Structure 1
Amino acid sequence: MTTSTTRTSRTARTLATTAAVAALVLAACSTPDDGGAPAVADDAPSGPALELTDAWVKSADEGMTAAFGTLANTGGADVTVVAVTSPAATAMELHETVEKDGVMVMQEVESFDVPAGGSVELEPGGNHLMFMGLTAPIAPGDEIELVLELTDGSTVELLAPAKDFAGANESYEGGTDMDHGDMGDMDHGDMDHGDTGADH
């Protein structure tokens, strides 16, 4: 009886040990699948962390208007904005305002470069996002959709509230003072950006 009992006990211990080893092997095999996803996610490059803070659009009934705010890059890589679109306008352009022959000139630029951890101000009298050919009146309180296109082809979708603003008056070289909200009588296609002065 003693010998038989001893053999049975040894067999039970052997089976238990084998089961434990098998369980460890299975657990080890499953570890890469369970822990692999977070590692890949951690190593995967993140998208551009570009925001338009303090964003706003000047309300207007028709014609042209502009969007302002601060383009803030919270990421670790430089970002270049090369285009902007909005369902609120038939066309949009990136603009800067510079002094030319004593007159503030509004002209189109190819891009806005936003350094890593830096920002670019969009403000009256400076850089701005220009709406041309409004598809509908923009009233105070409206939320205007904007889509920024970056140099790598990616896009950033934004929302900017509209508000009344008495400034952003424009002085063109032709001698006509204009307000962005009162540009409905002028076809923007008849203006040469390089020869039109603007003081936003």
Structure 2
Amino acid sequence: MNRRTTTLSAAVALAAALALTGCSSSSDGSAGSTDGKPRLEVSGAYMPQPVMDMAGGFLTIKNAGGTADKLTSVTSPVSDDVTIHETKNQKMQKVDSFDIPANGTLSLERGGNHIMFMELKKTLKQGEKVSIELHFEKSDPIKVDLPVEAPNHNPRQH
């Protein structure tokens, strides 16, 4: 009888754990969960209309999770050469990753850290959208559409 009670208790505990796991996954387009893992959400994404065959991409990644993550790469069908750059002392240089702190934010913005698209495969015009995929050290990739804005667009000046 005691063995049966222990088995039943274990089964109930396992079922409860599985139910909680199912509830913790995100259904809002963000990656990760609330169980100590990164929980990433992208906002404010845009690309100023390119004036040559290269362009910058800008966005904010908020991590509402209790674990840090890293943005490791970006891919896009509009370029085979998409990199992430930091800006230090008014010079930009390619980096391998950007940290996204637990309960923190990574901002990619004009004049600062950004996504760089080289040798664009087509001319991009204001009003179009550029599809990108963000890749992370821990979280699943996130697909984002960057609206192409006016060449001088800067949301911090509005």
TM interval, shorter chain, is: 0.7 to 0.9
Residues in 1 aligned to 2:17 and 2:123: alpha-carbon distance in whole angstroms: 52
- Structure-2 residue corresponding to 1:92: 82
Q: Look up the match of 1:138.
A: 124
* CA shift for structure 1 position 41: 2.1
Please state whether the residue corresponding to 2:152 is helix, strand or coil: coil
Deviation at 1:48, TM superposition (A): 4.0
Moved more, 64-73 or 54-63: 54-63
CA distance in 1: counterparts of 2:112 and 2:123, whole angstroms: 24
C-alpha displacement of 1:49:
2.3
**How many angstroms does 1:56 deviate by?**
0.5
Superposition RMSD in Å? 2.8
Q: 1:75 aligns with which of 65, 72, 81?
A: 65
For residue 80 of structure 2, give the secondary structure of its aligned residue in structure 1.
strand
1:129 to 115, 127, 140: 115
TM-score, with structure 2 as normaliser? 0.72
Structure (1 or 2) with the larger CA radius of gyration:
1
**Runs in 1 of length 4+ with deviation above 4 angstroms?**
31-37, 42-45
Residue aligned with 1:50, SS: strand
Larger relative helix fraction: 1
Shift of 1:34: 7.8
Counterpart position of 1:194: none
Unaligned runs of 5+ in 1: 1-27, 169-200
Structure 1 distance, partners of 2:96, 2:121, is 24
**Structure 2 unaligned regions, length at least 5:** 1-7, 26-31
TM-score by length of 1: 0.58
